Amino acid sequence: MSDTAILFPALALAWWSIVILAFVAYRRLTPSLSGEVPYTERIEQFRTGEPADTPSRIACANRNYVNLFESPILFYFTCIVLHVTATATALAVSLAWVFFAVRVVHSIIHLNSTRVLYRFAAFGISVIILCGLMAEMTRSLLWP
């Protein structure tokens, strides 16, 4: 296995975060460009954060972007530690790719559905996978 194999799922998740950021921009700009919300009025409202009357389709995209900086921080940390210590196993790389895939599924559910149970299931599965990845990192560091 390549020494850098563990970095590719992390890189993929970083790029996915950029895709979601572009989607947030699209969701924010579309109402202003279409005239649905006057641009200058919206800019003023966002000066101090997200206003309470932000349309749900915009708030949802913003929240999904924020979600990509919560538990994934532990994912990035784990991948970097595994790379730096050259202890990434095939199991760790596989778990990292599954974590990435489940986070993409979570984003797709979050952005396209109001079914909280499905989103929670995807989130819960990603946390379980992340715990497995961190356990594999701990094992490989303590018992190489």
List, for residues 31-44, the tens digit of each pLDDT value. Answer: 777 766 665 666 66
In angstroms, the CA 81 to CA 113 distance is 35
Helix (H, G, I), strand (E, B) or coil at 38: coil
Q: Say yes or no to pLDDT of 87 above 80.
A: yes
Per-residue tokens: 13: 């998740």
Q: What is the mean pLDDT of residues 115-136?
A: 96
Q: Quick one: average pLDDT of 100-128?
A: 94
**pLDDT tens by residue, 45-73:** 666 666 677 778 778 888 898 889 999 99
Q: What is the mean pLDDT of the chain?
A: 89
Element (H, E) at 141: helix 116-142
Return the structure tokens found at 73. 């921080």
Question: 7-142, which class in CATH?
Answer: mainly alpha
Write the single-letter amino acid at 125. I
